[in-house]
Each structure stands twice: as C-alpha cells, then as structure tokens.
Amino acid sequence: MTSTPISALMGIDLGTSSLKTVIVTLEGQVVATAAREYEVTMPQPGWAEQLPEAWVEGTLAAIREVLDAARVSVGLEPAQVRAIGLSGQMHGTVCVDVQGRVVRPAIIWADQRSGAQVARVMSEIGPERLGQWTGNPLATGFMLATWLWLREHEPEMVRRTKTVLLPKDYLRYRLTGEIGTEPSDAASTLLFDTARCVWSEPLLAVLDIDVGLLPSVYPSAAIAGKILPEIADATGLLAGTPVIYGGSDQAMQALGHGVIAPGVLSSTIGTGGQLFAPTSSPAYDPQVRLHCFCHVLPGMWHLESAMLSAGMSLRWLRDTVFSGTPYREIADAAASIPPGAEGLFFLPYLVGERTPHMDPRARGAFVGLTLRHGRAHMARAVMEGVVFGLRQGLDLMLGLGVPVARVVASGGAVRHPLWLQLQADIFNRSLYRTETVESAAVGAALLSGVGVGCYTDAPEAVRRTVHWQGSVIEPVSARVAYYAELYATFCTLYPALTDLFHSVPAAG
C-alpha cells in the first residue's frame, strides 16, 4: 500500500450518459474513480429528458464507491477530502417548486422541441441584439428556448415553478441545500450577459421573464455550501465538507487539461464535439455561429464551437451498421481505408447542428456512396466528417483573430490513433495530449482546491497537476494538402442540401 496522502480533492462530473467521480491528490494523482450510468428518455421524436433523481442516486452510489476504492488504494479517510467540486452538462433546465422539489423531468441540451421558439426569438429580437445582450446564438435545448416552450405548452408546470436550475446546480443543491449558480454555466442558458457576468436585464424584459426565476450568481471557485448530514450518512463523506459552485463541463475539462490561457485550444470528441479557446476578453462572432461563454477563471472567457453528433455519429454507425462491434475495431477498419474514403463523405448532422450552421433541421447524409463502398469506408467517412465539422469551427475562430499555437486533444476519441491523426492532418496543427484522465471531474476537483486554498489560483493548480505526454502527433504534409481539397468539397455539401433537409418531415 502506498503512503496515505495528507489531503485529497473530489470532483463530480454530471455528464449526459453517466456521472463520474474522482479523488485526486493535490499533486494531481487520480487515486480512485467511479461512475454510474443513467438514461436519456425521448418521450417524442426530437425530445431529450432525464430524471434528476437518477443523477442524485448515481452520485450517492458513485461517492460511496470512490471513497471505498480510495480507502483500499491509498488508505484515504473521508476527513482527508478537503473539498468537492462539480462539473456538469450545459444548457439544460430543471424546474423546482417553492419546496425545492422537481416539477417535471429535466429537459437537456440535446432536446430539439423548441425550434419554433428559437425562430421566434431570432426573428423578434434579431441576432444583432441577441449578440449584444448575451454574446451568443440561441439553439434548441438552451434554457431560454426550453423555458419559452414550457411557458407555451405546459403553463401549469410553469405556474408551479419557483426556480429554474442547470443540471449541476440542482445536484449541488441536493448535496448542500443551497441554491445558486456561477458564470460558466449561467452563460450557457442564453439568459446571461456574458460580458458583464450578470443576468441579461434587457433580454428578460423583452421576453417577460422574471429574474426571480433565476438563481443568484457567484464565482465558480466560491464555496457554495457544505455536505448535508443526510448526504454524509448516505455516502460516507464527512458532514460539513465544503462544496464549491463548480462549472460547465467544457470549462472544467479545459482546466483539467491546463487550457486556461489564450493560444491553447482544446479539441474534444465525445458524444458531441467542441473546440474551446480561452480569451482574456469576451469575443463576439457577428454572425453568431460561435459561442462565447465565461471561463471558470475570473476575468477569462472562452470561444466555443459546438457539434451535436461527434462521437454520437460513430455510436449510431456502431449500433445500426456494425451490430455492436467495439469502437476500436470500427476505427481499426476505418484506418485500413485510404484518406477520403474513396470519395465518400458524411455530414454528421444526426440531431441537427450548431456550429457553424445553427440549424436544428440539418440532417445527416452519406454523399458519394457507390457499390465499392463497404462498412469500413462508412466508418472512415464518419470519422473524417466529424473532424471536418470541427475544422469549420476552427476556421471561424481563426477568422476572429483567436491565436491557436497549441491544440490539446480531449474526450473519448484520444483512445484511438486515427482520431488523433485525423485532427492533426485536417487542422494542420500539432496535437498534444496530457496525462489527465476524466478531465472534467479532475478539473472540478482542482477548482475545489482553489476554492478552499489548497492552491493560490488555477494557474498554480495546473502547474502542480497537469503533465504532458511526451509524444506529439504531427500533421503529415501530403495528407494535409489532400484533406484541404476534401474539406473544401465538404463545405459545399450542407449549402447544397439545405433546402432538401428543410423539406424532409420530422421522423415520427
């Protein structure tokens, strides 16, 4: 058995498909992990909901497991957990009543039902004013759009609602009994003035939304409350353990990889796909194709490019074409096919798309399919299509003058070399990796350490805990040139098919 650490930190990441919990030493060693899965329910086509109680049950079970594992691995006792931080899926809406009880299932980020409300806001307010008030485009699944849908379709639920919370903020409320939020996640609601870090009074006034529905906003690293006695009894934690406000999963993942300063870009391929570029001032895309959210560091923001179906596209292919074949075998098959998949392209818009199209009615498509193409070609085309989509976000950032000196790979896709090489070749940039595992949960743990004084600030936490892998994935010049040609063709496909996508009725 190794020596017992003097202090440790806990991070909890409330994801879309599962909750992950880690215990980390102050030097960044992950000594234990635990996870619990839960379902996304789809009561109607295009809807996506979750039961908040499933998040709570999963959290309690994961905390028990991770504490037991840390006790076995390093002899850690609950009293040595100095603080707990939370990371969470963005945009979603949890409605609670005056007694703090959930009014209805949570509507999460992947939900598409609010398309009419998005169109109405964009028509009545317009992208220019929306950008001035929030710094962001509006998309389905965001709290603003969801709340407008609820107000129109479920007025009784709205009448019973006292407060609307983001997912991780509801979970933290259940752990501490305290209600509040912080800027990185609040910015993702589209009810927030990202530049000023306050709720957007002009927007709320125009849409007749009572600011009293929204929780107070506190710094991400501030202490939000303490573990309740009943939670301590259910988990083994020490009652009174500090819990910080935390942050959005993207900001926390970036912190876990040390992406906290301009010039470093995080490229994440998980269920969705994101590019994350820190900035020292709020940056605004006049055509509102990119998001500008607050970082968890004070006085920092980040530009974000968001794809809805990145790894989800490969999962769809696995489930429908490959009959459940493991992902590694699918990616190995794709690697056996030459770049360009012999003329086959894939548009990864299986649930609509955000960056750069902001179109919930966009649809997925294979283009160029012939009798020569088999499953391996389809796998290669899917993987290339995802990275082409990310490249469009990168081009938008570069067009705004955002410096990108280093790209850090993140997400489940780091497990296969083809995903990594595709990003290096298509982005035409060296790709770096850290040794951080479960980066969003680790980032949450690190920020909790900042909140209770284990680190002076986030830069010190990164210096002490983030370690870089020695190998760097370099772009191959011949493939860079070829992919540049293919990328130019890829960029023509969505405009050519837009009218067709919009004429196709929704699945029912």
DSSP 3-state of 87: strand
Q: Over the range 404-417, which residues count as b (16 or more CB within 10 Å of their CB) and which as e?
A: bebbbbbbebbebe
Same-domain pairing of 61 and 141: yes
User: What confidence tens digit (pLDDT) does each residue in 75-108 have?
Assistant: 999 999 999 999 999 999 999 999 999 999 999 9
Taking alpha carbons only, the member of 126, 124, 226, 107 closest to residue 178 is 226
373/61 Cα distance (integer angstroms): 46
CA dist., res. 305 & res. 18, Å (int): 23
Residues 262 and 410 in one domain: yes
Rounded Cα distance between 412 and 316, Å, is 15
Same domain (yes/no): 58, 201: yes
Q: What is the CATH number of the domain that holds 422?
A: 3.30.420.40
Could you give the residue numbers annotated as active site? 249
**Do the Cβ atoms of 175 and 227 come closer than 8 Å?**
yes
Our count of domains for the chain comes to: 3
- Looking at the fold, whether 14 and 66 belong to one and the same domain comes out as yes
pLDDT in tens, the chain (508 residues): 445 446 999 999 999 889 999 999 999 999 999 999 999 999 998 899 999 999 999 999 999 999 999 999 999 999 999 999 999 999 999 999 999 999 999 999 989 899 999 999 999 998 889 988 998 989 899 999 999 999 999 999 999 999 999 999 999 999 999 999 999 999 999 999 999 999 999 999 999 999 999 999 999 999 999 999 999 999 999 999 999 999 999 999 999 999 999 999 999 998 889 999 999 999 878 888 899 999 999 999 999 999 989 999 999 999 999 998 999 999 999 999 999 999 999 999 998 898 999 888 899 999 999 999 999 999 999 999 999 999 999 999 999 999 998 999 988 888 899 999 999 999 999 999 999 889 999 999 999 999 999 999 999 999 999 999 889 999 999 999 999 999 999 999 999 999 999 998 765 4
329-to-322, 325, 326, 421 alpha-carbon distances in Å: 10, 7, 6, 17
Same domain (yes/no): 282, 319:
no
Q: What is the DSSP string of 283-344?
A: ---TT--SEEEE-SSTT-EEEEEEESSSHHHHHHHHHHTSTT--HHHHHHHHHTSPTTGGG-
CA distance 100 to 86: 19
Maximum C-alpha span of the chain: 64
What's the domain range around 156? 8-250
Same domain, yes or no: 206 and 330: no
Asked whether residue 3 is domain-assigned, the answer is: no
**Number of other CB atoms surrounding residue 211 within 10 Å:** 12
pLDDT at position 151, please?
97
Residues 90 and 162 in one domain: yes
Q: Are residues 140 and 119 in the same domain?
A: yes
**pTM (global) more than 0.85:** yes
**Mean pLDDT for the chain?**
94
Residues paired with residue 279 on neighbouring β-strands, in sequence order: 301
Q: Both 365 and 219 in a single domain?
A: no
Residue 383 lies in a domain: yes
Residues 54 and 127 in one domain: yes
Same domain, 268 and 387: no
Contact 136, 195 (CB under 8 A): no
DSSP track, 356-402: TT-BTT---EEES--TT--HHHHHHHHHHHHHHHHHHHHHHHHHTT-
Q: Which residues contact 155 (CB under 8 A, 6 or more apart)?
A: none
